[in-house]
Chain A
């Protein structure tokens, strides 16, 4: 059973001129079988947390640890983290011109599984996964995220999640920019992924909307680079009713 442990994580963003502190001591543990919702206002540092765990070069860890099953993720390269079982669905997936979706997915699946899947089996697996996410098969031959709409990019992130079958998935605002139909399709994908009960999900979101389809076991309120309140699903309902203002003050007074 997998566990993701984030301990007292401090992270700065490297800009052209300065190193700007964003995360101010984050503590969070996600165990297999659990779904955690991390909710906070724009600019509170949610994506910074996600990127820092994944090893994005722009984000500098100034102190703290991140362990996956006791192994220090921060010591690993970006690709080693992914092969160790971490997956980040990005808020803004980048376009990589000329690299086709199918070629990319085959390379990724080969890397993560440690051997190349048989072409015929992979093609079948891919078309099945695309179908369940209502992705047009023609996308397999397009450039990765190239000219995709916001919603199409998000579906492709979940497609990757389902093919790569990580132990821990961090989903950064996968719900944003989706219409209701797409939100359902994407949520079903997340639920299929977590159905085994052997994987953990950290669902980062600004809105409570997706929590109607993906049920969290725990909710964390994230303000100004730290978790300021924690609870069960009822906390999300309170946020829905009251908004983040109350917590924003709590964060500022820290």
Chain B
């Protein structure tokens, strides 16, 4: 009998069930709480000001887009908050943006969900993306502007459906964003996630994947470029509570400038009684200057002997002198050599995005970063 998912047993929708974090908790120990602008205490705390974040969806007619109340039965059905900020976001969100791709519908053009910080101060959101059985779609979550924002996003992928999500965190330099992405996969469902994190003062994205039936396949990719003073945190939890599911987690980031801080936490659980799990997770950080900090923690917990494949790797380091030497030995100047190697570091991840507009934007953003450090 398959194990019960940790994601079903832990957690609560009641804010009061979670004490205000003090920074010593396992899940908060890397996050500078002071820079959350009270998002972890909530809008009733001392931090005042009602912020505003707008959400606009652009999609083909075949896609159903609705704004519904949190009491709608399709909202909040696929997850339970595991952290206080997630519970707060659920409680304080004014409503939910609901995107539904009907059964067997193949959506050609990416659905774009534009999330814009309009007014500073705390703001909360909720989005649900539902793919009915055998539907396929690509969704771009495009975050920009100034905000202090916490949100839950549910990705409910029905049997045999395939969803690609590109979440671009291209916030203004002062923004704070704490995001919870809840992926729920039906039988033989497929999810491709790409986090692209460039902006903000503090961006903390927690993604959880749960399989509700065998045959699910999740790939979580991420790219980040963390500059001076920025905090970029990506936390992944894949719960293999069902047999014969696959997961791949691959995140690559570069850091440059004083007090650039990148955090990557990769948790994979292979549950009791399951068999045929195939999982691999990987994080690489390219450290371009002194005075940066990387915390990279892969964590694999296996409660069964029947595993198809399970592994993890994490590496952080400088540009390789031998790469630079080789390019320079062909006449290429040091600065140009450095650029080629950094571009190369990200090239595969960018090519994998599959959304040309985002690929171009990311390429341009990396070029700008490289200009800045030249």
Contacts and interface: CB of A to CB of B under 8 A. Distances in A.
B328 A90 contact: no
B34 to A, nearest CB: 37
A79 B340 CA distance: 14
Contact of A98 (B321, B332, B333, B345): B345
Given A57-B325, A78-B325, A160 B330 contact: yes
A78 B340 contact: no
Contact of B328 (A79, A97, A99, A144): A79
B323 A98 contact: no
B344 A88 contact: no
A98 B330 contact: no
A98 B348 contact: yes
A79 to B, nearest CB: 4
Contacts of B326: 90, 93-94, 96, 144
Given A56-B325, A57-B321, A90-B326, A99 B331 contact: no
Contacts of A93: 326
Contact of B343 (A54, A57, A77, A99): A99
B10 interface: no
Interface in B316-372: 320-323, 325-334, 336-337, 340-341, 343-348
B287 to A, nearest CB: 17
Contacts of B328: 55, 77-79, 82
A143 interface: yes
A97 B322 CA distance: 12
B332 A79 contact: yes
A79 B333 contact: yes
Given A77-B334, A98-B346, A98-B347, A82 B341 contact: no
Nearest to A92: B322
A107 B334 CA distance: 12
A98 B284 CA distance: 14
A103 interface: yes
B343 A96 contact: no
Interface in A73-90: 77-79, 81-83, 88, 90
Nearest to B321: A57
A174 B147 CA distance: 59
A6 interface: no
A82 B345 contact: no
Contacts of B337: 79
A108 B344 contact: no
A98 B344 contact: yes
A101 B108 CA distance: 33
A77 to B, nearest CB: 7
Contacts, number: 83
Nearest to B345: A98
B343 to A, nearest CB: 7
A11 interface: no
A77 B329 CA distance: 9
A82 B336 CA distance: 15
A55 B336 CA distance: 18
Contacts of B341: 96, 99
A111 interface: yes
Contacts of A57: 321, 325
A35 B326 CA distance: 24
B340 to A, nearest CB: 5
Contact of A54 (B320, B329, B344, B348): B329
A219 interface: no
Nearest to B347: A98
A100 B340 CA distance: 9
B329 A111 contact: no
B328 to A, nearest CB: 4
B331 A88 contact: no
A79 B348 contact: no
A90 B321 CA distance: 15
A164 interface: yes
B325 A104 contact: no
A96 B336 contact: no
A104 B340 contact: yes
A104 B324 CA distance: 12
Nearest to A95: B323
B345 A111 contact: no
A164 B333 CA distance: 15
Interface of B: 320-323, 325-334, 336-337, 340-341, 343-348
23 contacts: A55-B325, A79-B328, A79-B332, A81-B329, A82-B329, A82-B330, A82-B331, A90-B329, A93-B326, A94-B320, A94-B323, A94-B326, A96-B323, A96-B326, A96-B344, A98-B347, A99-B341, A104-B327, A107-B327, A107-B336, A111-B332, A112-B330, A144-B326
Sorted nearest first, the 5 A-B pairs with minimum C-beta distance are: A98-B344, A98-B347, A82-B331, A108-B330, A111-B331
